[in-house]
Amino acid sequence: MAHNHNAEPVGAACKPPVTPHTPASTAITSLTALQLAAKLQARELTVAQALDAYYAVIEELEPKYNCYIHLCREHAYARAADIQPRIDAGEIRSALAGVPIAVKDLICTKGIPTTCASRMLADFIPPYDATVIEKINAADMIVLGKTNMDEFAMGSTTETSYFGPTRNPRDPAHVPGGSSGGSAAALAAMEAPIALGTDTGGSIRQPSAYCGVTGLKPTYGAVSRYGAVAYASSLDQIGPMGRDAADCAALFEIIAGQDPRDSTSMAPPAAFDADAALAKGVKGLRIGLPEAYFGEGLQPEAARAVLAAREVFVSLGAEAESFALPMTEYAVPTYYIIACAEACSNLSRYDGIKYGHSAEAANTLRETYILSRGEGFGMEVKRRIMLGNFVLSSGYFDAYYKKALQAKRMIQQAFAGAFEKYDLILGPVTPACAPKAGESLADPLKMYLSDIYTVMVNLAGLPAISLPCGTNARGLPIGLQLIGRPFEEGTLFAAARAYQTGAFA
């Protein structure tokens, strides 16, 4: 087959992670989540054996990659004991029943620490489960542990974590991306079969691209954010990350849906059906490539890989052409103004009183606030709080914040115009492959600029999927981004699946 190199599982073309663990563990951990679920249902494996395999790999590789902040073995084995009899009795509650999952450490898990990778929440143990955790529990999935991230999801490298940086399993000299870097790295290192991340400006898609895995940022409102620690509420979304599109679709089916506890969540026009979506293929789909996404700044290797993917879609029966997408040059300032404004408001809840870090040296209420926050937050979080207060402050509000909200509408309109003509928009996820560790923190503006292709999607509330489409000369993964109409995640999964299997020609 002409595009046979795409028929391998995700990341197959990338450098494999260093995995010297036992063959028995590897046989289990190299399965996709759906393959593992099938083996559990066929009773070729027990849920506890799956956990044994994952914890063995985790124990061996964590000193190298640091994907997790917290493991919850006791919880996981107790859940396995609860779930196994149901599987034995043929009571299968979901397509991923019995499958372990890694959860980004900003999603609240009852009785299991949830730190947001911050000193501020280092000792926080949520008294409740996020809606997505209730849903994965009801689906008989099992939380393996909580994954590392940029502090409060603010960053693009997973280097701002209070618990130390995560390394990219494809090459540990490089960052895994961020902010959901721990989840992406855990998938690439075979330390988890599937994961949850969150995406405010690319935090699922960019680390997926850097680590050679697949990740979906759902439509704004498609997944409940109840129990997800807020960063920028008008942009945040929880989404699935996995080794391929089929796994992500199965997890999305479990977590999607309106929730009365999140009034920004919405009912989709039709309930999402993973199997139906994956079977659709791409024949006849009209795909648009924004010219501005392929201009100056995009690494030639990335451009070549993404344009090669375009040819794969054409060979599968899609139509593809370039078009002018307005507003791209305004995406990054618009995003950072809005995100910082919302962050400074959302993070005002950390007062050193109700929960979180509280400064010992404080002698007055005001000192409790300023010292606890000064000590509890890292520099990137402080910087965004300062920027947010600036754009919201009297005298600057209209010129920055209000202007950004107007630009947000214009960005949404630009996409709406494009989707009159195209079913999907195709482009790169990032201008370049994963940077070396330590290169990004010195220049925050440079780091912000690398979000150019991902932030527009959040501003417009659209769904988008990131999947691997090759590697650079050093063997680092390159990501492909597909953007869809609101609530048309099914089209994204169909196209991603068709690309990954080379089928449905």
Partner 1 sequence: MTIDRDLVLYLESLGRIRLTEEERAACETDLRSIIGYFDQLGALDTEGVEPLSHAFPVTNVMREDVILRSMDPGDILANAPREKDGYFMVHRVME
Residues 224-283 that bind partner 1 (CB under 8 A): 234, 260, 263-264, 266
Task: Kindly state whether residue 363 participates in binding partner 1, applying the rule CB under 8 A.
Answer: yes
To the query of whether residue 354 is one of the catalytic residues in this protein, the response is: no
Indicate the pairing of strand 214-217 with strand 286-290: unpaired
Q: Which one from 94, 156, 161, 203 is the annotated catalytic residue?
A: 203
Among 354, 361, 420, 473, binds partner 1 (CB under 8 A): 354
Nearest Cα residue to 248 out of 282, 284, 274, 223: 274
Catalytic residue among 94, 118, 161, 179: 179
Residue with tokens 């520099």: 379
Shortest Å distance, C-beta 120 to partner 1: 11
| 188 touches 216 (CB < 8 A) | no
- The span from the CA of 373 to the CA of 369, in Å, is 6
Closest approach of partner 1 to the CB of residue 415, in Å:
10
State how far the alpha carbon of 212 is from the alpha carbons of 159, 162, 183, 252, 305, in Å.
Answer: 19, 25, 12, 19, 13
Is residue 27 part of the contact set for partner 1 (CB under 8 A)? no
- Of 408, 418, 437, 478, the one binding partner 1 (CB under 8 A) is 408
- Looking from the CA of 176 toward its CB, the CA atoms found within 13 Å total 38
Which one, 140 or 199, has the nearer CB to partner 1?
A: 199
355 touches partner 1 (CB under 8 A)? yes
Binding segment (CB under 8 A) for partner 1, from list 67-75, 172-180, 371-379, 429-437: 371-379
Instruction: Specify the pairing of strand 194-199 against strand 100-104.
Output: parallel
Name the active-site residue from 25, 39, 94, 104. Answer: 104
**Contact residues for 233 (Cβ-Cβ < 8 A; gap 6+):** 225, 264, 342, 346
Does 333 help bind partner 1 (rule: CB under 8 A)? Answer: yes
Query: Counting contacts by CB under 8 A, is residue 412 touching partner 1?
Result: yes
* 188, two tokens: 């690439």
Active site residue 118: no
Residue 9's nearest CA partner among 169, 193, 202 is 193
Q: Which of 24, 164, 291, 348 binds partner 1 (CB under 8 A)?
A: 348
Strand partners for 288: 321, 425
Only one residue has tokens 């679920």, namely 37
How far apart are CB 287 and partner 1 at their closest, in Å? 23
Distance CA 173, CA 436 (A): 6
Task: Specify the stretch interacting with partner 1 by CB under 8 A; choose among 9-17, 35-43, 175-183, 325-333.
Answer: 325-333
Give me the least distance between CB of 154 and partner 1, in Å please.
13
**Alpha carbon 311 to chain centroid, angstroms:** 27
Residues numbered 433-452 forming contacts with partner 1, rule: CB under 8 A: 444-445, 448
Residue 349 in contact with partner 1, rule: CB under 8 A: no
Question: Is 203 one of the catalytic residues?
Answer: yes
User: Does residue 192 sit in helix, strand or coil?
Assistant: coil
Are 218 and 197 a contacting pair, CB within 8 Å?
no
Only one residue has tokens 């990501």, namely 479
Nearer to partner 1, 125 or 279 (CB): 125
Give every CB contact of residue 364 below 8 A, 6+ residues apart in sequence.
none
Phi and psi torsions of 347, nearest 5°: -85, 0
Q: Is 374 in the site for partner 1 (CB under 8 A)?
A: yes
Q: Is the peptide bond before 322 cis (omega within 30 degrees of 0)?
A: no
Of 77 and 390, CB closest to partner 1:
390
Max CA pair span of the chain: 72
Q: Which of residues 192-211 bind partner 1 (CB under 8 A)?
A: none
Q: Which of residues 73-132 bind partner 1 (CB under 8 A)?
A: 123-125, 127-128
Is 358 one of the binding residues for partner 1 (CB under 8 A)? yes
Of 27-35, 182-190, 300-308, 457-465: span binding partner 1 (CB under 8 A): 457-465
**Terminal CA-CA length for the chain:** 11
The residue (of 170 and 485) whose beta carbon lies closer to partner 1 is: 485
Q: Does 297 bind partner 1 (CB under 8 A)?
A: no
Considering beta carbons, is residue 3 or 382 the nearer one to partner 1? Answer: 382
What span, in angstroms and rounded, lies between the C-alpha atoms of 365 and 409? Answer: 41
Residue 5 or 383 with smaller CB distance to partner 1: 383
Q: Residue 100 and residue 500: Cα distance in Å, rounded?
A: 23
Site for partner 1 in 147-186 (CB under 8 A): none
DSSP 8-state symbol, 348: G
Asked if 426 and 480 touch (Cβ cutoff 8 Å), the reply is: yes
For the CB of residue 487, give the shortest distance to partner 1 in the complex, in Å: 10
385 scored as a contact of partner 1 (CB under 8 A): yes
From 43, 73, 283, 409, residue interacting with partner 1 (rule: CB under 8 A): 409
Applying the rule CB under 8 A, the residues between 459 and 498 that interact with partner 1 are 459-461, 486
H-assigned helices in 189-330: 205-211, 245-255, 274-278, 300-315
Size of interface with partner 1, in residues (CB under 8 A): 73
* The one among 60, 62, 134, 367 contacting partner 1 by CB under 8 A: 367
Residues carrying an active site annotation: 104, 179, 203
